[in-house]
Amino acid sequence: MTTESAVTTESATARPVRPYGDTTGDGMVQVSFTLPVPYGPRADDAARQLAAKMGIDAALVAHSRPVGDGYTFFVLYGAVRHAVDLAEVVDRSQDYPRLGTAEIDSAVRRALRRELVVVGACIGTDAHTVGIDAILNIKGFAGEKGLEYYRSLRVVNLGAQVEIAALVERACAERADAVLVSQVVTQRDTHIANVRGMSEAFRARLGEQRPVLVAGGPRFDAVTAADLGVDRVFGRGTTPTEVVSYLVHAVTKRMAAIP
């Protein structure tokens, strides 16, 4: 191991760790927020005081501008006092194998002896289909084909603004093995309420015989799956291969558990 790689490895595993700005461990961060204060020196001072209460020392207002009557948007730069002990960080590494196309088709044929049925939708008032389409449509995302590409899968994409009751009915009619819901709109935690409502509706209708439930969107955190009542949560940057590999893993595991 070279001296340079040794230093890199040591830095990556050091405890505790702080943000890096100009020098290692200097704690420098950049944050942005909006305050309901008219643009001007008084607003800048309010932003600096808020930053200090957030634990950011000697915060510099790097940028501020009015964003409507009585509101100001800020970008601040400063050093945080806090550090993170990596020993307390939860390992969220993928706990299922990432499969290739042939492996996916073969696993589904062995376990199900039929197509794996996936129903997807944007639920509630959410009309943003870019995410669900990137995962389901054959064109895919990030150089990976979407779920429609796989011969062993049958995909039903219901599109946007699908009511939860309608989703449950269609999933039952299609005898879905898995249901994927995408949520981009997050105002007042709408995404959380929608996913919880969806989970409760499936459990009320099907009990333990419900499909594998998956939620995805840029504001979701993987550790919230149990709290939301779903089997898996995927966040920003998720690719189709990650999703289809998980679905095959989860559905085949369920099938293996059936006497």
CA distance 38 to 46: 11
**Segment 223-231 mean pLDDT:** 83
8 A C-beta contact, residue 180 and residue 118: yes
80 band by pLDDT with thresholds 50, 70 and 90: very high
pLDDT of 62-73, one tens digit each? 999 999 899 999
- For the question of whether the overall pTM of this predicted structure is more than 0.95, the answer is no
Please give the backbone phi and psi of residue 150, each rounded to the nearest 5 degrees, phi first. Answer: -80, 130
Look at residues 76, 68, 72 and name the one whose alpha carbon lies nearest to residue 42.
Answer: 72
pLDDT of 171-186, one tens digit each? 999 999 999 999 887 7
pLDDT of 134-148, one tens digit each? 999 999 988 999 999
Residues noted as catalytic: 139
Asked whether residue 108 carries a pLDDT value surpassing 70, the answer given is yes
Delineate the domains of the chain, giving CATH numbers in brackets: 11-87 (3.30.30.60), 101-257 (3.40.50.280)
Least confident of 10-19, 36-45, 176-185, 227-236: 10-19
CB atoms within 10 A of CB 197: 15
